[in-house]
Amino acid sequence: MPAYLDAIIAAHRAAAAVDRRDPAALLEAAARLPGTRPFADELAAGSSADGLSVIAEVKRRSPSRGDLDPTLDPAVVAKEYESGGASCLSVLTDRQFFGGSPEDLAAARSACSLPVLRKDFTVSVNDLCDARLMGADAALLIVAALAPDELGEYLAVAGQLGLDALVEVHDGEELARALDAGARLVGVNQRDLRTFEVDHERALGLAEAFPADVVTVAESGIRGPEDAARLAAAGYDAVLVGETLVTAGDRRSAVAGLLGAVR
């Protein structure tokens, strides 16, 4: 099977290696921006009120499935998700592998009041600064893609920038690394990023390993209300859903259906 994560991370690290922008200047520019919308707090609040929060994803294509909806309008999709009851948005900004862009994120965020995650492959301080400068309220840190010192450093920089950090794990060892680094918003990705195969039991198997003060997210492989209900019953605060919602004929109803399964 193709090693998707290895190829994607190699491409992003190659781009970071030739980025000559000064991180200090970017941090200074980001400090002048208005405050962010509360991403993690919104998920926790939605979980307390309704049993489960939904992070709805704007995603044009996937390396494994190809085009999902390459001509989608991020602003229209964001409004559909918000009207369906989503708590937050996730927007792919990787161009090469997912067909996304910073412009997609800006358009989606300006069209709604929801906090927005920049869904991309963070491998440098400049990546985090870029997330803040393009308007994101949260950034993704993938444990499998980062050295332990990088994970700790990027968590600290995200905090300095006012960004929430969704720390993504795939197994118990990665979860321990995330918690040791101080992560308080953790997502379990049920998709193996090296093969892109989905294990629908992965998140359930890790559910009891989380401390009570960590906001928990199950990512990938949520096919509908039944999957959402199982994850809510296991204690997850939120689900991050992409392909199921992007390809739905009625995106508003698809989001509402995920919520209705657990209320």
Identify the CA nearest to 115 among candidates 162, 175, 159. Answer: 162
pLDDT for 2 beyond 60 = no
Task: Say if residue 263's pLDDT is above 70.
Answer: no
Mean pLDDT for 59-72 is: 89
Residue 248, strand partner residues = none
- What's the CATH code of the domain at 120? 3.20.20.70
d(CA 198, CA 179): 24
Domain range holding 80? 4-260
CB 55 within 8 A of CB 246: no
CA 125 to chain centre: 18
Confidence grade of residue 192 (pLDDT, cut at 50, 70, 90): confident
Tally of domains in the chain? 1
Amino acid 25: pLDDT: 97
Nearest-angstrom CA–CA distance, 64 and 1: 11
Query: pLDDT, tens digit, for every residue of 228-239?
Result: 999 999 999 999
Mean pLDDT over residues 154-169, rounded? Answer: 97
Express each pLDDT in 201-256 by its tens digit: 999 999 999 999 999 999 988 999 999 999 999 999 999 999 999 999 999 999 99
The pLDDT > 70 percentage for the chain reads: 97
pLDDT at residue 46 greater than cutoff 90: no
**Rounded distance, CA 192 to CA 41, Å?**
28
Mean pLDDT of 103-116: 98
Give the mean pLDDT of 83-87. Answer: 96
Strand-pair partners of 62: 66
Question: What's the rounded mean pLDDT across residues 146-164?
Answer: 96
- Average pLDDT in the 79-104 region? 97
- Beta bridge pairs of residue 217: 187, 238
Q: Is the pLDDT of residue 3 over 60?
A: yes
Dist. CA 252–CA 256, nearest whole Å: 6
Parallel, antiparallel or unpaired: strands 61-62 and 53-58: unpaired
Q: Return the pLDDT at 51.
A: 79
Looking at every residue in the chain, the average pLDDT score rounds to 93
Higher-confidence residue of 6 and 16: namely 16
Interior/surface letters 7-19, b for 16+ CB within 10 angstroms, e for the rest: ebbeebeeeeeee
Q: How far apart are the first and last CA of the chain?
A: 39
pLDDT band at 129 (very low <50, low <70, confident <90, very high): very high
Question: How many CA atoms lie within 13 Å of 111's alpha carbon, on the beta-carbon side?
Answer: 20
In the block, tokens 């309220």 appear at 137
Sign of dihedral through CA atoms 177, 201, 228, 120? positive
- pLDDT number for residue 134: 97
